[in-house]
Structure formats: structure tokens, C-alpha cells
Chains A and B, each alone.
Chain A
Amino acid sequence: MPDSTPQLKSDTLMKQMKLHLSTDASKELTKKIGLVYQINIAPKKLGFDEVIYVVDLKKGEVTKGPYEGGKPDATFAFKDDDFVKVATGKMNPQIAFMRGAMKIKGSLSAAQKFTPDIFPKPSKM
């Protein structure tokens, strides 16, 4: 089994993102944004038991664990549910930020480019 016991909803989205970045459709994305985001996802409470993903829109890849190529352009902290809401367009990132559902570290102009359309939408069976 490639993934051990699934725990986060975000894991599914990240997996899809990873696959998405391997397709031609994502080439435009990396060209357009060209930034590295680190996303810390907590199951219940911000800052606790965080699972860290790096969405590298320079190289076009998603990796688990903290960014190793220096400093990411922006780091976000979410709760699992809130990340799903943002990534699926249920919640606007700015609103998430205003509500404190999303914490931002790093460049705000980089954070501004973090929009729901960079993530592929999950399809439903």
C-alpha cells in the first residue's frame, strides 16, 4: 500500500495535486506562478500534529515533509477541513485568512497567488 493509514482529507487532495502536476495541464500553472508553497496541515488544532506538504510550483511537484531547498515563498497553516474548503473553492483564501482559519508566513504577494484554481477538483463517484 503506497499510503499508510489515511488520516487527512487533505492527503487525497495532495495526492491528486501531485498527479495533476505531472500532466501537461499543469505546465501553465508552474509558468504562471513559479513559487514554492509549504502547507502545514493540522488534523484538529492549528499548529498541532501538523503534516507538512510542499507544493513546489517551480518544479511542479508535491512532496511530504518540510521544504529542503531553502525558504519557501510562503508557508500556510490550515486545519484539515479548512484546507479542503479552500482547495475546493468552498472558502476563499482571503476569508480563511480573515477568520484565522489560515495563517500565512512569508511573502504576502506570494500568498496572494495561492488560489483555489491551482488545485484539481475531486470528482465524485
Chain B
Amino acid sequence: MAMRDLVTGGAACAVPGSSSSSNPVAALASALIGSSSKTTQERLKELPTSIPTSSDRQYYPEAPTLPGSEFDQEHYLQPSAQGSDFLHGFRAADRGQFADVWDEIHHGQPPHLQGRASQSHLPKFEHAFHQVNSQLQPTLDGITPDDHKLSPRFFVKDLTWLSNHLFVVVPSFLSLGIEVHYESTNPSPSVTGPPQRVLSNFLHSFLDSSRGGIPFHPAPLPGLGLSEVDKQCIRDRTSIMARHMFADKSDEFTNAQVDALLCSLDIDNSVQAKGHIPGRFSELEDYWNESQGSRQAGHLPANGWVTEFDQHRAQQGDPELWALSFERQHGVNGWASEFEREQSQMAQLGQTRGANISDFAAMEQTRMLAHTLAQNNDPKFQNSKFLQFVSKMSRGELIIDDNQVKPSTSGDWAAEYQHEYNGGLSWADEFGHTKASANLALRWEFNHSLSHGPDRWVNEFSAEHKQPNLVEDQWVDEFSKLHIQDWADEFGHQVGEGAFGNESTDNWASAYDEYLNEQMATKQQSGGSRGVYVFSEMNPYVGHPNPLKEGQELFRKGLLSEAVLALEAEVIKNPDNAEGWRLLGIAHAENDDDQQAIASMMKAQEVDPTNLEVLLALGVSHTNELEQAAALKYLYSWLLHHPKYGTLAPRELSESLHYADVARLFDQAAQMSPEDADVHIVLGVLYNLSREYDKAISSFQTALKLRPNDYSLWNKLGATQANSIQSADAILAYQQALDLKPNYVRAWANMGISYANQGMYEESVRYYVRALAMNPKADNAWQYLRISLSCASRNDMFEACDSRNLDVLQKEFPL
């Protein structure tokens, strides 16, 4: 259900018409940040040129005489109520800015009259605007120009914004430094501009035509007298903007639209048209929109900047002068400090939201997931690693990269960007300024964008942010690789069936934790596949002059783990030493590690295929591992290679072994020599295979009469008794074994099992811990310990158990 939607980015996250919505993360990202074009779309949906596609569309009665002239009247209609608050915030931001400049355009008022002091138009606009969309009120309140300081960061941004949305004005004054738009009220324009009103409306109608998704039809226009530079700027702006507006359409459509417009304006699109890679540009747009959106509740300093910029523009008409005058007003370091302040804010934003859009999208998803998961108040679930993982992801503290979860390192794009440009400051000499590097970087950027057009900056910026796009895809890939989706499906399915009580969430959360642990554990043990001996990494006995002798000595003293190391050194030195391998196998078996025991015994058998002790040990170990067929094979080999009983075994039998045949042969052997303890031992093992525990017990007891000091025989008896659930007797047998060999890890572990099987869990824990203290590598004992802790309601010790913290466990459960 919801969980699965969150994880997979289900239908709820998709945006109709958004680009590349096949990718769920991208779809989410578009939903969150790709709202800009939708905004205008809704704002202008009443346009005559658009095809009616939905019922809520309204039309203006009067037919325009010239395309775009309907814009002489202000009409903002209520946007449809769809969309999240987040998107509304966007609209507010967009509209506020738009309205500001719109006022200027349509009232033809010079900005220096309208500037900070003149608020007459803003309230008017606000009034109109409130009628339309009162929910945007809080945001709109921030528009009043007075409460904004000029913020250099938004300066650059607004160049971009302006250039996209108001390219009517921007191209001209950006490129020529002329005051074209206000010429009607400005008595002395320095350069003759084109009839801007006509151009403006025309371009707006182009904008609107896009909303209906219909081709833009060229319309005859009066001679505009556009200069080449104007044309170039319009062309550049148009192609950028078109790609932005038609993000959901094909490239062909976009190009056709642009061509139609440029044709009308008598601009040649083919010659000098600068190619803007759409992907790059939309990425930049997305980024800015996103960063704007995150400030939705704030003051919208951008609006203030628009006014202020226009004011300065009107006075100075030259970008460099503007900069200088700003410096005069605010002091040279004003910029720097303000820039830095903005940057540090941005850095904070960056850290909380993650470095870039892709992370942002990923985090947005995980944040929702975390939120959903956090609804569960169960403290255990709250503490689960899964939830922590998800919430860390959602906070951007972790990123998934290259199938590895990494802590997020640098979330500060601003610092990076600044750093990048701190190097290229040669312009500084040009202007003869010596300033703080932050200041320089900014000014460089500013001048750069003024002289080369913001699109250059756009390219640079998008080049910088090309990578995140890849990362985003990677993230999606990796995420699906982790099979979290499968997991989510199954989880969602289960939850959907409504079968879980409260306690079960516990189980599932901890199961997930265990799953993670287990996965890590399997990674660590990946080398330890069946039958392959795994050597210890650090072995102090390597280089020992006689490791076999040392190993035998250690084994005799009962220092099993040490003996294992010495014997490993021996078999590294002499891989063909069967005795080394055999004793190593026995040491492992006594250390309760059957996997390693089997691996060493198989090596011993390779070297010496007829060693009876080795064959018996292999039979026993495979029986312990419940591998009947293999066990039977080795026990039969024992008989086959026995000097006395070998004649009993028909050779042809070894091809297809049947338990009954083998058992019969051993019965014969036992009758042949009832005083041979070995035969009784093998018989006992054989009866264990067939689960005839009573017979097995009597075989071992017979053998023990012959060999009462064989500690491993006592353990065999105990284990058989335990497996036939005669636990009390088993414990007595184990006690005998431990009296003979106090460091017999297997017997200690078996004691634990017997207590556990009798329901004495607290007791069993003590024995498991004792066994583990002697051999921390005994994996079985760790697993049984956990079960016993759980049954003894000692969940408080799980952590110590999972982290294999023996100190804590030994202190808590002394024997």
C-alpha cells in the first residue's frame, strides 16, 4: 500500500505530462520542482489561442486585434485547486515577481518612480491578487520592496528568471544597456528601441500559444526595427524558454514553435543560434525553482531585487556602473558579507536537503517513507536500524552510491561553486579592484553574465550539475538492486492483508535488522564455502620450527584454539602431513566447529585415504550436520579399510550404499570382536544416523565400559541421550566428559543445549557463554545463545550477543 508507493514512487507521485516520468524518482522531482511551467500554464489558461482541453478553462470575449494584445488587461484567474501547498508556494513566488514587473510593463511607469517609495501599484495589484487567490496572501505580503535588502545571490538568479519570463525586456537592456522599455515616459532614451509594446504582446502570445499545445502561427507584425543584437538575444532567450516551456513536448515541436516565432520577427534562427542542451537547462531551472520553493515562506527578496534592479538600471543604464553604484551605496565589502551570509544559509539548506536535486528527490522519497514508518510508535521499531537508515537517508546524511551506503560528505553546492570560481579571477585586474575572494567570485559572475548573457552562466552552471543527474539514475538503479522494492512489495502485501497485530511489527523490524546483520555476516564468511578450509588471518605460529609438536602439546593441554593455530601453521608448512590435518580436524570438532572439522578431515583423507580415525571423524561430523548419505559413505569406508573387518565388506556395495546393509555389516563386526570399542563407537554413530537412539546409547555405553576415559565417547553418549530427549542423563554424561577435559568446548555447548531443551533457558545461557568464551568462533553456540536469551526474556542482552561482546555476557552470566 502506501509504503510500497513511497518506495517505488507509485502513481501518486507521478505528474501528468512531466518529462521522463517513467522514472519514479524523476517523476517525484518533477512534481516538486518542475512547477514553473505549470504555473504560467494555469495563469494563462484563458488564452484565446489555446485549444480548450479542460472544462475549467475560461475565455475572454473580445478577440484580439493583434496577437498578445489581450494582455493589455490584467486578468489573473484562480488557478485550479489541484497541486500541493508546495506548488502553491511556487506560484506565489512566481506571480509575485511576475506581477511586480508586469505592473511596470503595463503601466509604463519608469522604475525610478515606482521604486521603493512608490507602493501605489503594489497594493493595487495585491488587491486584485487577493481576490483571486487569498491563500497566497502570506507569501504576497513579502513582496513590498522595502523589506528587502539586495541579495547578490538572488541577483544572479533573477537574471535567469527575468531572462526566462520577461525576455521582452531583458534581452534589450542586457545586451545593449539601453532603456528600451520605458522610452515612452523617459524623455531622452539613449538608443532608439523597437516598439516594445508590440513586441512584448507578441512574445506573450507566443508564450500563451504553447499552453494549448498548438503550433504557433506566425502573424504579420509592423516593422520593429530590431537590431542584430536584439535579435540574437531574443533568439537565445526564446530557444531557452521554449525548451523550458515545452519540456513535456518533443524537440521537434519546440523547434517548430521557436522557428515560427523567429520567422515572425524576421530573425534568422539558423546562423548564430546558440545551442542550449535542453537537459542542461531544465536542470538549472529545476534547481532554481527548487531553491526558490524552499524559501517559499520567506520574504522573496527576489521581488525586491527586481524593483531595485530596475531602479538602478534606469538611473545608470550600464551594468558596470550599476555595480559600482551599488558598491558606493553599500560599501565594497557589503556584497561580500551579504554574499557570504547568503551562502552560509544556502549551505545549511544544502545540508538539510542534500547536495543536489537528485539527492533531494531521493531524500524526499525516503523522508516520506521515514514519516510513514515513524507513525509506528513502537519503541523497538523506532530504534530499528531500518528506520534509522531510512531517516538518515531522508536527512541526506547517507547517500547510496555505487551500491554502497555512504555518509554524505559535501552538501554545499554553493561553496563548491564558489571554490571553483575563486581560481578564475583574472578579471579583477581589469577593473582594478582588490576585494575578498567571495566578492570577486560574485562580481566576476555578475559581469560575466552581463557581458555574455546569462545563458553562458546557465551553461556553466548546468555543466556543473550534470553529474547529479547521473547520480540520480544511479541511485534509482542501486535502489532497485538492493531488492528493497521486492521487500516492500511483500511487506505491503502482508500489511494489505491486515494480518499483523502490534507485536508483529516488532518482529518484522528486528527481522530486518537481522537480515542486515546476516548479509554482512555472509559477506565476511563468503570465503568459507563448504569443504574449503579457512585459515586464520593472523597466525603467530607461522615460522615456528616445529608447529606440529607445539600443536600436539597445546592440544594435550586442552588449549584448543591455540592448538588450531599451531596445527594450521603445520599444514601450511607441510600440506601433506595427514596427522597435522587430522589433529586439526579433531581440534575443530572439539571446538564445536564442524565445518572446519570436515574441511581439515577431508584434507587428511586426501593425503591418507585409509586412516581409520579420519574416516570415523568424517562420519561423525557429517552425522552432526545431518548429512546422512555422506556419513554413511565414510562409515562404510571405515569398515572397508579396517584390517580386520575389511573382508566383511563386499566391494561392490560402495557404489550404492543402503543403511540397512551397512548396519548389518557392522553388527557382524561387533559379533566378531565384541571387545573392540571402535566397532561399538561406529555402530553408535550409525544408529544415530537412523535415529535409533536407544540402540545408539547402548552401543556407546558398551564402548565406554571398554574405554571409560575417552572424553569424546562420553560426549557422544551425552549427545545421543540429548537427541533422544533424555536431557538429564545427557548432562551427567557431559559432566563426565568435562571432568576428563575441562576445555571441551563442544561439551559445554551441548550442556547449554540440554538445559535449553528442558526449558531451563537462563542456565543454558551460562553454558553457551562458557563455551563461547573458549571459542568465540563457534557460530552455532551464538545462534543458540540468542534463542535462549529470547526465551529467558533477556532481550536486554541481544545487543551484547549480536555484537559478540563476551565481556558483558560473561559478567552477566557467570557459571
A residues sitting closer than 8 Å to B (CB atoms) are 1-3, 5-7, 9, 11-13, 15-16, 19-20, 22-23, 25, 28, 84, 88-92, 94-95, 97-98, 107-109, 112, 116-117, 120-125
Contacts and interface: CB of A to CB of B under 8 A. Distances in A.
B723 A123 contact: yes
A28 B791 CA distance: 12
B592 A120 contact: no
A18 B727 CA distance: 15
26 contacts: A1-B663, A1-B690, A1-B692, A2-B690, A2-B692, A5-B658, A6-B628, A6-B689, A13-B626, A16-B723, A19-B693, A22-B725, A23-B758, A89-B784, A92-B514, A94-B514, A108-B499, A120-B725, A120-B757, A123-B723, A124-B592, A124-B749, A124-B750, A125-B624, A125-B685, A125-B688
Contacts of B507: 94, 112
A9 B746 CA distance: 21
Contacts of B730: 123
Contacts of A124: 592, 594, 624, 719, 746, 749-750
A95 B626 contact: no
Given A16-B725, A95-B515, A108-B499, A123 B718 contact: yes
B787 interface: yes
B563 interface: no
A6 B712 CA distance: 26
Nearest to A121: B753
Contact of A125 (B490, B720, B725): B720
Given A25-B757, A124-B746, A125-B719, A98 B511 contact: yes
B723 A122 contact: yes
Interface string B393-415: 00000000000000000000000
A72 to B, nearest CB: 16
Contacts of B716: 125
Please classify the interface of chain B as helix (H, G, I), strand (E, B), loop, or mixed, using the class held by over half of its residues.
helix
B703 to A, nearest CB: 12
Nearest 6 pairs of A and B residues by beta carbon? A94-B511, A108-B499, A9-B626, A123-B722, A123-B719, A19-B725
Contacts of B720: 123, 125
Contact of B501 (A89, A109, A120): A109
A34 B720 CA distance: 29
B783 A88 contact: yes
Interface string B291-313: 00000000000000000000000
B473 interface: no
Contacts of B688: 125
B790 A90 contact: no
Contacts of B497: 108
A107 B757 contact: no
A1 B720 CA distance: 17
Contact of B659 (A6, A91, A97, A123): A6
A12 B722 CA distance: 13
Given A25-B758, A117-B791, A124-B750, A107 B499 contact: yes
B477 interface: no
A91 to B, nearest CB: 8
Contacts of B689: 6
A23 B730 CA distance: 15
Contact of A117 (B620, B719, B790): B790
Contact of B725 (A23, A89, A112): A23
A19 B724 contact: yes
B349 to A, nearest CB: 38
Interface in B130-166: none
Interface in B687-731: 688-693, 712, 715-716, 718-720, 722-725, 727, 730
Contact of B691 (A2, A97, A98, A117): A2
B185 interface: no
Interface in B503-546: 503-504, 507-508, 511, 514-515, 518
Contacts of A120: 725, 757
A98 B783 CA distance: 20
Contacts of B725: 16, 19-20, 22-23, 120
